Amino acid sequence: MTEEPQEITTLVGREVYSNNGVFVGQVEDLRLDVDSRSVTGLALTQLNHELFDERINGSRGVIIPYRWVRSVGDVILVNGIVERMHGTNEEEEPLAATP
């Protein structure tokens, strides 16, 4: 049995958590690649200030790469965000802050 495809707008408003259960933020918008018709990033607001305060410098949100998403359900789980924010995973690209 196949599932009905969901509208990408159903992601807006969902809470985002790390794979360890730490609240990260809430999806406000999506970054899309129109040519490939795919989601490339999640724009988050209502951020966990303990994770982001030092990195966002007054911006109201961040955009995380969609490839960090581990699963989507009632909430969205992302891999390794806590480690990335604390500098223990040097090989990943930095987050983009949203003004």
Evaluate whether residue 78 is within a structural domain.
yes
Evaluate whether residue 5 is within a structural domain.
no
Evaluate whether residue 3 is within a structural domain.
no
The CA distance from 73 to 81, in Å, is 18
Domain span at 87: 10-98
> Is the pLDDT assigned to residue 95 strictly greater than 70?
no
pLDDT tens, position by position, 52-73: 776 667 677 889 999 999 999 9
Residue 69 sits in a domain whose CATH number is: 2.30.30.240
The CA distance from 32 to 23, in Å, is 24
In the chain, the number of structural domains is 1
pLDDT tens, position by position, 9-57: 788 999 999 988 999 999 999 999 989 888 899 999 999 888 877 666 7
